[in-house]
Amino acid sequence: MKKTMCAMMLGLLISAVANGQYEEEESNFTIQALLGGVRYDGLEFTGPGGSNTTDMASLPQLGGAWSTKPENEGLSFGLECTFLLGFKFDDVTTYTGASSIYVTSSSSLWLIDFSGGGFANLMLGNKVWAYAAAGPLVMLSFYDSDEQYSDGSPGTSQSETAYGFGAYARTGLEFEVHNGGYLGAGVRWNWSNIDFDVVDSGSNVSGIAGFLTYTANL
């Protein structure tokens, strides 16, 4: 009888320790994948020779977000940080009537967006949540362009690296597709004082993006 009681107590102790370890290792964070595109206002670059203007306003964009795990019911608050990468490659050929030559411009733009802030999350039933977030951001840009001329004249090129600070706000809706996994869509607005020397619209850029999202517990 004593051996049985000892065995039962030992089993309960082991179970309690295991449960405690499970609770300590339970997920406290989420990670979100984002895939979509962004549209900026007036993001047009003047070519190195001044003969072409390249429209870089619409870019595909992808990235990820990390956040503290929201509560499973009601309204909850937390912190998040995001990383987004936008990119575009463009080739434009124009004919210059005055000089009777063709000018081919090849351009590339990379935009890197680091941001972070606070979020609010609202559970809408057991399998749907809505969220909103806002905070500061840092934007980095790498731009390259070169022009080639059909008459054999020496080509021209230019490159620029720029950065700026700004703010973002985003919101979205997601549905649970499996235990701990959510699929949905969201929109994001951002503004930055990034200063391009070769952008016609000046030093400030603002845009709005749309994303498909997938969120999982870590």
* pLDDT at 192 exceeding the cut of 70: yes
Range of the domain at 184: 29-217
Q: How many domains does the chain have?
A: 1
Residue 157 falls inside a structural domain: yes
pLDDT tens digits, residue range 147-183?
777 776 777 777 888 899 999 999 999 999 998 899 9
Number of H helices, E strands in the chain: 1, 10
Asked if the structure places residue 150 within a domain, the reply is yes
Q: Is residue 22 part of a domain?
A: no
Residues with Cβ within 8 Å of 186's Cβ and at least 6 positions away in sequence, in order, are 34, 131, 170, 171, 172, 173, 210, 211, 213
Give the residue from 49, 164, 144, 135 showing the smallest Cα distance to 87.
144
pLDDT grade, residue 194 (50/70/90)? confident
Cβ neighbours around 101 below 10 Å, total: 15
- Asked if residues 185 and 211 have their Cβ atoms less than 8 Å apart, the reply is yes
Mean pLDDT of the chain: 81
Dig out the tokens for 217 from the structure.
């517990």
CA distance 118 to 78: 6
For residue 105, is pLDDT > 50?
A: yes
What DSSP letter does each residue of 140-190 carry, written as one string?
A: EEEEEEEEEETT-PPPEEEEEEEEEEEEEEEEEEEEEEETTEEEEEEEEEE
**Each residue of 78-101: pLDDT tens digit?**
999 999 999 998 877 776 655 667
Does residue 10 belong to any structural domain of this protein?
no
pLDDT tens column, 114-129: 999 999 999 998 889 9
**Domain-embedded: residue 7:** no
Residue found by looking up tokens 């603002």 in the block: 206
CATH code of 46's domain: 2.40.160.20
Higher pLDDT, 70 or 132: 132
**pLDDT by residue (tens digit) across 12-64?**
344 444 444 444 445 688 999 999 999 998 787 776 656 567 788 899 999 99
pLDDT score for 85: 97
Residue 15 is assigned to a structural domain of this protein: no
In a domain, 9, yes or no: no
- The predicted pLDDT at position 12 comes to 39
Determine, yes or no, domain membership for 16.
no
